[in-house]
Amino acid sequence: MATARTVIIRKHGGPEEFEIETREVGDPGPGEIRIRHEVAGLNFIDAYQRSGLYPMEMPHAMGMEGAGIVEAVGEGVTHLKAGDRAAYAAMPPGAYADARVMPAAQVCPLPEGIAFETAAAMMLKGLTAEYLFCRTTPIKAGDTVLFHAAAGGVGLIACQWAKSEGIRLIGTAGTDEKCALAVESGADACINYRNEDFVARVRELTDGKGVDVVMDGVGKDTFDGSLDCLKPLGMMISFGNASGPVPPLNIATLAAKGSLKVTRPTLFTHIGDPDTCQAMARHLFDKVLAGDVTLRIDQRYPLDQIAEAHRAMEARETTGSTVITL
């Protein structure tokens, strides 16, 4: 029976909790596939799961995103076959591995024109951008969006996505270099929140009107200011917790600030329906194949340096996407 190096944790905690063990990889059962990974992706949700912000039963394999070759398919799997190139962002975790058996429903056939490394860097982040722009609230050409952490993995995709749709995107980032990267990727403007009041600057950039939509994956540090950036009836999309979870919200605050709307979506709700997942992936692949979205991979770590990869991500030392090579 084949074996695979697999990253696991036995308890929640810091990056030091990672272990690499060799596991047997069996045959897929009904509705499953066996995939041999070429590359895995790195995402903040991995750190949330590792730390216990999103609790998991222990011990548990880690990693939410990967790309590789399908080795075998179980009974009932019709959209994939052995030998297919494939990529996914999916539950349960387990992508930090040479190979694995996993549910097939959220694994997507990968077009020949997209490299494995690109696919592993973009599935979770790109599908997130797809639901933010296309499935959460109506956003049309000419609307203005505020996007926090615009030089991160999701952010750089969002900058390009917005530009391709005629949407004005104002970004925030923590350094001038990151701001420049966001603008280069399609942001109309980017605010260095370390030396500027982003609320005041957003009001200035919108002639005092505010933005139609805020997309906030940072969480605690930016949530209150984000509400103050919205125009009346605007939509706040809180989709992540990079700085920590958002404190409880007094719902009357939304009325006082202009009848605002707030939602807390997750990718995994959207891709929970297999047909929706495959349609979202095809939309993302079309954007990439058309050149509207180009993946920037700025960090690469081998599997045995997974702890260092997490430390760099959590220290905000990364830009663009990070991949784990196998």
Instruction: Write down the CATH number for the domain with range 137-264.
Output: 3.40.50.720
Top-level CATH class of 3-125+268-325?
alpha beta
The per-residue pLDDT for 2 is 87
Average pLDDT of every residue of the chain: 96
Q: What is the reported pLDDT for 245?
A: 85
- Segment 170-184 mean pLDDT: 96
Q: What is the mean pLDDT of residues 263-275?
A: 96
3-125+268-325 and 137-264 in the same fold: no
Mean pLDDT of 157-185: 97
Write down the pLDDT at residue 1: 74
What confidence tens digit (pLDDT) does each residue in 135-145 have? 999 999 999 99
Residue-wise pLDDT tens digits, 207-245: 999 999 999 999 899 999 999 999 999 999 999 888 888
Confidence band for 286, pLDDT divided at 50, 70 and 90: very high
Please tell me the predicted confidence (pLDDT) of residue 320.
83
Residues 71-79 have a mean pLDDT of: 98
Full 3-state SS string of 187-231: CCEEEECCCCCHHHHHHHHCCCCCEEEEEECCCCCCHHHHHHHEE
- pLDDT at position 319 over 90: no
Per-domain residue ranges of the chain: 3-125+268-325, 137-264
Q: Which whole number is the average pLDDT over 251-278? A: 97
Alpha helices in the chain (DSSP H): 44-51, 116-134, 153-164, 176-184, 198-205, 223-229, 252-256, 267-270, 274-289, 306-314
pLDDT in tens, 99-117: 999 999 999 999 999 999 9
Give the closest residue to 41 by CA, choosing from 101, 111, 97: 97
- Distance, in Å, from the CA atom of 33 to the CA atom of 36, rounded to the nearest integer, reads 10
- So what's the pLDDT on residue 237? 98
